[in-house]
Chain A
Amino acid sequence: MSLESLSFPALGSECHLFLVARDPKPLAVGAEWVRGLHERLTRFEPDSELSTFNSTAGTWTKVSPVLESLLREALRAHQVSHGLVHAGTLHALLAAGYTRTFSEGPTKPALRTQHLGPIPPLDDMLEVGHGHARVRAGYGIDLGGIAKGWIADRLAEKLGENSLVNLGGDIYAHGEGEDGRGWPVGFGGTTIFLHDQGVATSGSRSRRWGQSLHHLIDPRTGRPSKTDLEEVSVIAATGADAEIYAKTAFLMGRGAAEYFLGEHCPGWWLYP
């Protein structure tokens, strides 16, 4: 048994897969699975399944099992975060100027304020049935805030009993790592050992494109959030939960974040 690894770009980020096994082949299969999900779930390609779904806002639309699962996950994230992690912020992201992928360079600063304001609760604008779903007319779904942790959890299960998936900083570690102590992961300036746990980071220090313009929309205002935090990293039971808790804490600000994370997470890093 040896530690095998594979790095590749996908989901708008750099991805890293690790596997303790005799055969590294599952890594390539896993990378291909992630690329396939990227093509299906990106909002930057007009013919992706997500873009097609958004283009039919107001009507019931057939969705694949993967998109249906992620839309249900979006509703769960909204509930767990008390409404702060909100996948129905696409119109606000576009109004703020986040109109193209960062791989094409920084987006031109813009803030079309006539489109901005408090965003209705997600469960008022998104309905999900078996094999079909509907988003309210005038709104759209962006899965950038929840998809990577959710995918990391599932990919680690697919790779094998002792694997780690890092999708742009959202991580799930499955098993005990190479030496049985847990998977060593950099976290808040130290190394922690993960065993069947997830970690994620949320913050406004990247994906910025102008004064106070970044990709984390506060649904209470419909604008890029303004908090006293720039970055939050958390440990949780899964990558999906870590991503939700990190984003929630970031949007809450330091005071409420300390209390919220103390209730839900075994460890966290707040900056500054």
Chain B
Amino acid sequence: MPAWLLKLAAVLVTGLAAAGSAGYVSRHVKSDTAPLHPPVAAPATTVSGAGGGHLNLKPSVQSSSDQQPITFTSVS
């Protein structure tokens, strides 16, 4: 095989690899809004109560300010 053919093949492979990489990168631009770490469990929401206390409920807790309770927790 002539040497010039090997050189031409090497140039073509290098050029195709560079062009392919540039195309891939341009189609996958980094998002500035992408998270830097995996999502974690949502934190508890803190609400200041009318009486001066602080209520914290994680999303797994269902609550309603409209529903009347049948009983309540209290200090005893």
User: What 1/0 flags go to A142-160 for Cβ under 8 Å of B?
Assistant: 0000001000000000000
Residue tally, chain A, CB below 8 Å to B: 48
Distance from B22 Cβ to chain A, minimum over Cβ atoms (Å)? 47
- When C-beta atoms are compared, the residue in chain A nearest to B74 turns out to be A169
Q: Is the CB of B64 within 8 A of A190?
A: yes
- Note all chain B residues with C-beta closer than 8 A to A181: 62
Residue tally, chain B, CB below 8 Å to A: 29
Q: Is the CB of B76 within 8 A of A267?
A: no
Confirm or deny: B36 has a beta carbon within 8 angstroms of a beta carbon on chain A. Answer: no
Q: Is the CB of A169 within 8 A of B53?
A: no
User: What 1/0 flags go to B33-56 for Cβ under 8 Å of A?
Assistant: 000000000011000011111111
- Note all chain A residues with C-beta closer than 8 A to B63: 187, 190-193
Which of B55, B57, B58, B71 is A164 in contact with, Cβ under 8 Å? B71
Question: How many pairs, one residue from A and one from B, have CB atoms within 8 Å of each other in the complex?
Answer: 123
The chain A residues found within 8 Å of chain B, CB to CB, are 3, 5, 12-13, 16, 18, 148, 164, 166-171, 181-193, 199-203, 205-207, 231, 233, 235, 258, 261-262, 266-272
Q: Is the CB of A186 within 8 A of B53?
A: no
Which of A167, A191, A261, A270 is B64 in contact with, Cβ under 8 Å? A191
Report how far A181 CA is from B66 CA in the complex, Å: 14
Distance from A93 Cβ to chain B, minimum over Cβ atoms (Å)? 15
- Note all chain B residues with C-beta closer than 8 A to A206: 75-76
Confirm or deny: B72 has a beta carbon within 8 angstroms of a beta carbon on chain A. Answer: yes
Confirm or deny: B61 has a beta carbon within 8 angstroms of a beta carbon on chain A. Answer: yes
Distance from A49 Cβ to chain B, minimum over Cβ atoms (Å)? 22
